Amino acid sequence: MLLPAGALAVPAPRWLDSMTPTPVVPPPVPLPAGALRTLATSPVNVTSIAYDLTLDPTTGAASGTVTVELGSPTVAITGLLLYMDPGLAVTAASSSTGGATTSVDDAWGYRYVSVSLAQPAPSGSAASVTIDFSGTLACPDQQGRQSCSMQQELSYALQGSALPGVYDQFQVGGFNAWPAERALTLRTPVGVSAVASGELTSESTEAGMLVRKWTTPGYASAGGYLVVLGQLETSPIAGGSLPSSVVYAKSMPNFTAKMGSWMGSILPFVDAQAGAPLPYPQLSVVKLPAGQGFPGTAGHGITLLSESYGGYGDAYFEETLAHEHAHQWWGVLVSPSDVGVTRLLTEGLATQTQVHYAARLLDGDARERFLSRRLREHQMLLRYHTNPAELPALVVASPQLAPADSVGHTVWAYIKSSATLEHLRAAIGDAAYAELLVKYAAKCQMAACATADFTAVAEQVSGESLTAFMSQWVYATNYPELRLSFSEQPAAEGVEVTLQVSGAEGLEVPLALLVTLETGEVLRRRVTLPKTGEAVSFQVPSAVRSVRPSARHDAVIWSRSAQDGDVDFDGEVDGFDLLYCARTVGMNTGLYQEGGEGLWQMNLDFDPRCDGVFDGQMTTADLGGIFAAFGSLREPKP
């Protein structure tokens, strides 16, 4: 299916379906094969969408107009498809070409309004279509989420409810609504507070109603388009690069002080990641009440997150807020036009951001240890909770090929995407990766870009071809099971280490290595294993104890020592291997464990390398391989 604006979400607690990327499901009119279009190929563009909406959140009564301007240089425009709340009725329709007629279908919790122009607008011309509507918002369940919620202290309406969305449907017009500039005039009873995506341009009182106007510049964006209103309170956020505040339901101030404090760290972190401050006059960070319709999203100048994430501990709530706010860049301001077939650069980048935000205060070995443990969540979800062989590539051929089930979609969109980006980050190095994000943001901010643009920038900053990387891990799936061994030879200056790897033949595998010397010092080396499977070598100053790939590859590259029973990659099986794994006896990979961590409450101390039987349960049987080989040592060093 196509992905309209309003697409960004965070994983919902406990696999709720509400992180499904789009609130819009296929309309009753069947889409033709290959209906996905990108900005580059869409023959019709929507240039503006303007709303004039009167809304009383205490009753859900809504009335208004939506005016859509669209044009095409190549095809005649015959109509368009809108989707809105099923409680709203179309009361009038008109067009700049001399009238319009409408027909209505209700499906999936939406009302689809098909608008036909009385006279098609010829190619090369523009058309304007205006629909009047009124009614009481029904806000029904829509596949586990709601486009609106009314009669609450904090009510909201997303696009597709009181703000009719423009459906990108080939059969009706073939336009693409993303680059449309938007304007919202909202009329509410006096005393109702409101924030919305876009930039507030005026606030006044007319005929006893509060009237607020927002505009959103026209640029391709997968960000949410919405208004939040009710009895709201705001609390300023200190430390950001733009005026920001936490917005919340007046009687529910819990978490807001923490969220404000966290945003004081998140704002500069995300600014630094993108290399620029957010280009908004102000930012609203909305705390959504728990269990109310949707878990979070981000739009132009607005970040929203449900307090239900507070149920997983402060640290996880904070990093999830970082995820959602990271969408300001990775999804709102920078939206790949192929987002219908991939979440790599939206959910993948946002999830990676949350992990690195959590690690921001660490460096060196402590950071590596933190990341290796934190990323176990990715490794276990990919290895144990989904079938790696069935989960599709990160860019699929058509939207219908993306996993539709909740678990599969979450792991594909969030976990596999971010794990692969982490594999890339480790491969090209943190410095190059940081430069990549800055340059990608600069190149693609409010611009028509796609995954290929990200790749091009990555190649530029790394100085390396990423053709193999992308084809192996983004456009296809590969989980090579590497077996590593190393040997040492005296060299002119120090020691030459030769790394022999099996299991990756036919793949080109970039690896960040952690090389621990006998002195205890840990060095970092980057190598690329050739497709031929030939050994690679590198030099270090002195004798080596162990050579292991950075655990940041682990979810994608399943590396193990060539020596059975050797868990710590020193080529030997000793007490360190045994006791490391013995500690985890009794642990398992299950979800929602007592004392578990993160959204899925998993035991991040579970190490799949210890799971010799590979059943997700650590028992003494898993130690069998270690016992069998215990005491196996490398040849004494020369």
In degrees and rounded to multiples of 5, residue 102 shows phi and psi of: -130, 155
Q: Nearer to another protein by C-beta: 315 or 366? A: 366
Picking from 236, 214, 234, the residue whose alpha carbon sits closest to that of residue 225 is 214
Name 539's bridge partners.
496
The interface with another protein within residues 539-578 (CB under 8 A) comprises 545, 574-576, 578
How far is Cα of residue 517 from the mean position of the Cα atoms in its chain?
A: 38
Picking from 283, 331, 323, 328, the residue whose alpha carbon sits closest to that of residue 306 is 323
* Residue 350 site contact among Zn ion, another protein, none (CB < 5 to 8 Å, cut-off depends on kind): Zn ion
Residue 316 amino acid letter:
Y
Pair 461, 436: CB distance under 8 Å: yes
326 scored as a contact of Zn ion (CB under 5 A)? no
* Separation of alpha carbons 479 and 504, rounded Å: 9
Total binding residues toward another protein, as defined by CB under 8 A: 22
> Token pair for residue 298?
């981000």
Minimum CB–partner distance for residue 370 and another protein (Å): 12
* Separation of alpha carbons 104 and 92, rounded Å: 13
Minimum CB–partner distance for residue 506 and another protein (Å): 36
Q: In this structure, how many other beta carbons lie within 10 angstroms of the beta carbon of residue 251?
A: 10
Q: Nearer to another protein by C-beta: 290 or 582? A: 582
* Separation of alpha carbons 42 and 35, rounded Å: 10
* Residue 627 site contact among Zn ion, another protein, none (CB < 5 to 8 Å, cut-off depends on kind): another protein
Q: Nearer to another protein by C-beta: 150 or 551? A: 551
Which of these ranges, 63-71, 340-348, 500-508, 542-550, lies near Zn ion under the rule CB under 5 A? Answer: 340-348
* Residue 10 site contact among another protein, Zn ion, none (CB < 5 to 8 Å, cut-off depends on kind): Zn ion
**What kind and span of H or E run contains 372?**
helix 364-374
Q: Which of 251, 467, 489, 620 binds another protein (CB under 8 A)?
A: 620
Q: Nearer to Zn ion by C-beta: 95 or 328? A: 328
Which of these ranges, 308-316, 375-383, 441-449, 623-631, lies near another protein under the rule CB under 8 A? Answer: 623-631
586 scored as a contact of another protein (CB under 8 A)? yes
The interface with another protein within residues 282-301 (CB under 8 A) comprises none
Which of these ranges, 318-326, 378-386, 456-464, 630-638, lies near another protein under the rule CB under 8 A? Answer: 630-638
Which of these ranges, 225-233, 240-248, 272-280, 581-589, lies near another protein under the rule CB under 8 A? Answer: 581-589
Tell me the Cα Rg of the chain. 27
Minimum CB–partner distance for residue 564 and another protein (Å): 14
Coil/strand/helix, residue 337:
coil
431 scored as a contact of another protein (CB under 8 A)? no
Pair 155, 229: CB distance under 8 Å: yes
Q: Nearer to Zn ion by C-beta: 7 or 495? A: 7
* Separation of alpha carbons 45 and 213, rounded Å: 24
Name 513's bridge partners.
525, 549
Which residues neighbour 152 within 8 Å (Cβ) at sequence distance 6 or greater?
57, 230, 249, 289, 292
* Residue 518 site contact among another protein, Zn ion, none (CB < 5 to 8 Å, cut-off depends on kind): another protein
The interface with another protein within residues 595-614 (CB under 8 A) comprises 605
Q: Which of 520, 532, 594, 638 binds another protein (CB under 8 A)?
A: 520
Which of these ranges, 2-10, 302-310, 369-377, 421-429, lies near Zn ion under the rule CB under 5 A? Answer: 2-10
582 scored as a contact of another protein (CB under 8 A)? yes
The DSSP bridge pattern shows strands 283-288 and 244-249 to be parallel
Q: Which of 14, 524, 583, 637 binds another protein (CB under 8 A)?
A: 583
Q: Nearer to Zn ion by C-beta: 129 or 350? A: 350
Residue 545 amino acid letter:
R
Residue spans of beta strands (DSSP E) within 300-356? 302-306
Rounded to whole angstroms, the maximal C-alpha distance in the chain is 92
Minimum CB–partner distance for residue 346 and Zn ion (Å): 7
Q: Which of 10, 31, 371, 499 binds Zn ion (CB under 5 A)?
A: 10
| Complete DSSP assignment for 433-459 | HHHHHHHHHHHHTTS-B-HHHHHHHHH
Burial-class residue 206 by CB neighbours within 10 Å (0-12, 13-18, 19+).
Answer: exposed
Minimum CB–partner distance for residue 569 and another protein (Å): 15
Pair 289, 341: CB distance under 8 Å: no
Q: Nearer to another protein by C-beta: 592 or 627? A: 627
Which of these ranges, 40-48, 64-72, 321-329, 622-630, lies near another protein under the rule CB under 8 A? Answer: 622-630
Which of these ranges, 39-47, 161-169, 170-178, 629-637, lies near another protein under the rule CB under 8 A? Answer: 629-637
Pair 353, 273: CB distance under 8 Å: yes
Total binding residues toward Zn ion, as defined by CB under 5 A: 3
* Separation of alpha carbons 308 and 190, rounded Å: 30
475 scored as a contact of another protein (CB under 8 A)? no
624 scored as a contact of another protein (CB under 8 A)? no
Q: Which of 231, 261, 265, 632 binds another protein (CB under 8 A)?
A: 632
CA 599 to each of CA 167, 287, 311, 542: distance values in angstroms, whole numbers, following the listed order? 32, 18, 9, 43
* Separation of alpha carbons 472 and 467, rounded Å: 8
Minimum CB–partner distance for residue 61 and another protein (Å): 58
**What kind and span of H or E run contains 84?**
strand 77-84
Q: Nearer to another protein by C-beta: 459 or 564? A: 564
Which of these ranges, 5-13, 65-73, 531-539, 613-621, lies near Zn ion under the rule CB under 5 A? Answer: 5-13
> Token pair for residue 103?
């027909």
* Residue 582 site contact among Zn ion, another protein, none (CB < 5 to 8 Å, cut-off depends on kind): another protein
* Separation of alpha carbons 476 and 482, rounded Å: 18
Residue 382 amino acid letter:
L
Which of these ranges, 10-18, 40-48, 170-178, 202-210, lies near Zn ion under the rule CB under 5 A? Answer: 10-18
- Show the binding pattern over residues 349-368: x = contacts Zn ion (CB under 5 A), - = does not: -x------------------
Task: Report the interface residues with Zn ion, using CB under 5 A.
Answer: 10, 347, 350
Task: Report the interface residues with another protein, using CB under 8 A.
Answer: 518, 520, 545, 574-576, 578-580, 582-583, 585-586, 605, 620, 623, 626-627, 630-633
